[in-house]
Amino acid sequence: MNGNTAPPSIPFTDPIFDFCFHPTRHVVVSGLITGYIYCHQYGTEANTLLWSTQISKKSTRGVEFNQDGSLLMTISRDKSIQTLDVDTGRLLMKIPKAHKYPINKIHALDLNRIATGDDEGIIKLWDLRTPKMAQQYISHDDFIADMTFAEGKSTLLAAGGDGVLSIHDTRKLDKKVATCTLDDELLALTTIKDYDQVVAGSQSGALYYWQWNEWATIKDKWLGHPSSVDTLCKLDEDTLCTGGNDGLLRLVSVSPDYQFEGVLGDHGEDFPVERVRLSSQNGAGDAAALLGSCGHDMNLRFWDIGDLYDSDSDDDGDKDSQESGNNTNDKKRQHDITTATTGHTKRFDCSDVNLDGLLDKNHKWAKAVTESDPNYFKDMALGQTPKILWIGCSDSRVPANQVLQLGPGEVFVHRNIANVVTHTDMSCLSVLQYSIEVLKVEHVIVCGHYNCGGVAAAYSRKQVGLIDNWLRNIKDVYRLNASSVNKEEDEQQRMRRLVDYNAIHSAQNVCYSTIVQDAWKRGQKLTVHAWVHDIADGMARKLNFKASCASDMEFIYVSNNE
């Protein structure tokens, strides 16, 4: 494949669990939740279906070519392992009940050996020539999320939902090492620096990495992602691509320090990325420049990343001009990355006037979740026990659960224009009373955000309309803190300070309410926090206000009926 055009996406009617590129041909195989496997030949103009087959009535959880692409190996939720003919999809071999528990991951070690890991943390090595289990490792207490093989070291590494990285020398039956258990789920795994470092992505969004043979301690932990890192792909020895539940494919450089370089692709914020892989070949002898990803949007997508592999300068330039060329190309690369994906950031189809598309996506999402966890919605329907009440702005760019990285049922939410809390707003007070007296939340977070349209409108002193009555509350905050706000050098900074003071003022009003005062009198555990969220970098930060009892407040607001 030549040029800068990626193949069109391959749409499916059901969720994709896994896919893999053929090592030498323009062929990609996808495994679906329905048990079907599809084999396509991909091209810049169109993709062609070569064959499809259903190997099980339960989901296909993994697909993998062996080292030379002569065999396709698959795993199923029915605990079986299969090998298929690459050209026809014909079943060549099946190992039923290969594990006691559903198999979650498969990884090819070489031409004939594979490793499989199941939902209970058991890893098995298989020689497909026999086909019999060659070795079994029990190093985990939870599901095997990912595996990788350091071929030069003959070492298999596995990441588990129990927060354990296990290391197995496949040449020695009893040679295994496990790292200390982290208070985090490890979900994705790869090696970099010619196997000198191992990187794991996690549920918290952190990247953990270890130096080879120094497994007892983490070399470093990088808190760069706003959501989970569900899949990792090494682009070269210094560059990674990560995918997570916010639908973004991020480019991460690891030298000299870990940092984001840009966004390579976008499945949509409501469509988590399940898998990202790099094509082994991009044509006869060409370097790989095609990235593939699948997610809950039920599309196998392709991303042309050829610009990342372009040489930085001509060989005949002197050192200074080479360095200048490097800087230029670095800037060009970042520009190309960010602009190439701009068109993918909108998820709502404006022509869907009856909203049937939204309902269709909802139904497919519910089906995928139920397949993954049959009791998920049943358990959710039994009740809610959130420990946090979030009072925030109605701005669509500040969704509480995503900012906090908490799931359904974990955050009770109230939102209005500019996160204003007043003693006359019955809607807000009703939410406050229900969350504190019935749900027994332990934390109330009042969170403002920079670039807030409500605060900007109040600060502008222009008449807007009915909303001016609401914005009067923010104008009062400005009046009370004018000397401090006006110390800022420019208008943008003054509005940021007003956002801070507005969040603090609303948090104080929460504390002044009889609802919170009564809760503290009862000895109820309750802390009120003021935060601010910066849309420009996605980070939430604490402001200079927190109260856990009446003594933290000014005496005039503390009721005393004794």
Task: Report the DSSP pairing between strands 197-202 and 229-236.
Answer: unpaired
Model confidence over 192-230: pLDDT tens digits?
A: 988 899 999 999 899 999 999 899 888 889 887 888 899
Average pLDDT rounded to a whole number, residues 72-78: 96
Write out pLDDT tens, residues 437-477: 999 999 999 999 999 999 999 998 777 788 889 999 999 99
Q: Which of 393, 428, 447, 511 is catalytic?
A: 393
422: left (phi over 0), alpha (psi -120 to 50) or beta: beta
- Identify which of 509, 528, 521 has the alpha carbon closest to the alpha carbon of residue 560: 521
* Mean pLDDT of the region 271-294: 75
Beta bridge partners of 65: 72
Confidence at 288, pLDDT banded by 50, 70, 90: low
Region 524-534: what's the mean pLDDT?
95
* Bind-site residues: 393, 395, 449, 452
Is residue 137 within 8 A of residue 166, CB to CB? The reply is yes
365/14 Cα distance (integer angstroms): 10
User: Quick one: pLDDT at residue 270?
Assistant: 67
pLDDT of residue 178: 81
Phi, psi angles (nearest 5°) of residue 485: -60, -45
Which tokens belong to 475?
A: 């104008």
The number of beta carbons lying within 10 Å of the beta carbon of residue 263 is 17
51, 59, 116 from 54: Cα distances, Å: 11, 10, 20
Annotated binding site for Zn(2+): 393, 395, 449, 452
Residue 1 has pLDDT above 80, yes or no: no
Residue 461 exposure: Cα atoms within 13 Å on the Cβ side: 2
Whether pLDDT at 324 is above 60: no
**Using an 8 Å Cβ cutoff, are 459 and 498 in contact?**
yes
Q: Which residue has the higher pLDDT, 366 or 348?
A: 366
d(CA 80, CA 216): 34
Distance CA(503)–CA(471), nearest Å, equals 14
**Is 393 a residue of the active site?**
yes
Q: How many CB atoms lie within 10 A of CB 497?
A: 16
Q: Determine the Cα–Cα distance for residues 425 and 402; give it in Å rounded to an integer.
A: 26
- On the CB side of 330, CA atoms within 13 Å amount to 9
Q: pLDDT per residue over 248-281, tens digit each?
A: 899 999 887 888 888 888 887 668 899 999 997 5
Using the structure block, give the residue that is written with the tokens 């090492």: 177
Plot region of 283 (φ>0 → left; ψ -120 to 50 → alpha; else → beta)? left
pLDDT of the residue at 194: 87
With a cut of 60, say whether residue 332 has pLDDT above it: no
Catalytic pick from 452, 494, 496, 533?
452
- Dihedral angle of Cα 7, 9, 10, 12, to the nearest 10 degrees: 180
Model pLDDT, residue 357: 86
Looking at residue 550, its pLDDT comes to 78
Catalytic, out of 90, 335, 363, 397: 397
Long-range contacts of 219-224 (CB under 8 A, 24+ apart): 220/258, 222/258, 224/252, 224/258, 224/259, 224/260
Catalytic annotation, pick one of 26, 395, 494, 500: 395
Q: Is 397 a catalytic residue?
A: yes
Tens of pLDDT, residues 107-127: 999 999 999 999 999 999 999
Residue 449 bears catalytic tag: yes
Indicate the helix (H) or strand (E) that contains 83. strand 81-85
In this prediction the pTM is: 0.59
Q: What is the mean pLDDT of the chain?
A: 86
Query: What's the confidence (pLDDT) of residue 338?
Result: 41
Structure tokens at 353: 């006037």
pLDDT of residue 335: 37
> pLDDT tens digit string along 484-501?
999 988 888 999 999 999
Quote the tokens at residue 111. Answer: 């031409």
Helix/strand/coil (H/E/C) assignment for every residue in 89-154? CCEEEEECCCCCCCEEEEEECCCCEEEEEECCCEEEEEECCCCEEEEEEECCCCCEEEEEEEHHHC
| Closest residue by Cα to residue 43 from 282, 366, 364 | 282
Q: Per-residue pLDDT averaged across 43-70, rounded? A: 93
